[in-house]
Amino acid sequence: MAAPPLSSDPLRLDGKRALVTGASRGIGRATAEAFAAAGAAAVAVNYARSTGEAESAGDALRESGTEVEVIRADVSDPAQVESMFEQLRARWDGIDILVNNAAITHDGLAMLLGAQAWDETLAVNLRGPFLCARHALRPMIKRRWGRIINVVSPAALFGKAGAANYAAAKGGLLSFSKSLAREVGRYGITVNAVCPGLIDTRLIAGIPAEDRALHEREIALGRFGTPAEVAQAIRFLASPAASYVSGATLVVDGGMTMA
């Protein structure tokens, strides 16, 4: 397969259509905004519960001139995922870029963790990306071009005490990314993972000041990251500039893990 030609600005996403799951806030919303700023023709904002935030994100994207679809769907539910992709096929003939960002946590020590907390965490964080990727792939294969980016976590690499379910899901997602990259590379589709460290989102907003200071001392850059910084890494992997990057994990953690 010949290498695709690069444009004068290979970070542009002109003409591309993207779906970002869990895009009502945080890293997901920042990623949708980064795609719009890079010239994406259309961006779908997926969410599960926060209707007001999702509509706000959609309105902000429309102001940039990007075509926007705001879609409520629980990515762990096969029927809802199928309906979402039917909607995207009808409107845009599928998507070119999939960002699997939606995630939940149900923390607890493994000995005390209930089966429901385990199952729900893996359903959203692992089954959801599988369901979305399965539906996204057919149009990508047809066009011989596609990008799938899965958002993982340092827990996938090192484990996390008190969150074995989350670590297992993210570790599984990392392995899924590599396996899928091997399956679809011949069609011009890349599959990669982005691994954010401690990012200033609602997820860690309540962290005590002393704990935050301790973590900041462990980070080479001495601070937490921003959703926009992670979004730029995702934008790179989604762009033509990353045409020879697949099966990789891009760690965006300010030097916290040195993974």
Choose the catalytic residue: 47, 166, 187, 244: 166
> Which sign, positive or negative, has the C-alpha torsion 141, 16, 90, 55?
positive
**Cβ count near 66 (within 10 Å):** 21
CA gap 176, 100 in Å, rounded: 12
Task: State the Cα–Cα distance between residues 97 and 28, nearest whole angstrom.
Answer: 13
Q: For residues 75 and 48, what is the distance between their CA atoms, to the nearest angstrom? A: 8
Active site residue 47: no
Of 88, 27, 14, the closest CA to residue 57 belongs to: 27
CB 252 within 8 A of CB 48: no
Strands (DSSP E) contained in the chain are 17-20, 42-47, 67-72, 97-100, 146-151, 189-196, 249-252
- Radius of gyration (Cα) for the chain, nearest Å? 18
CA dihedral 86, 88, 94, 96 (to 10 degrees): -140
Residues in the chain: 259
Q: What does the alpha-carbon distance between residue 61 and residue 42 come to, in Å, rounded to a whole number?
A: 9
Active site residues: 166
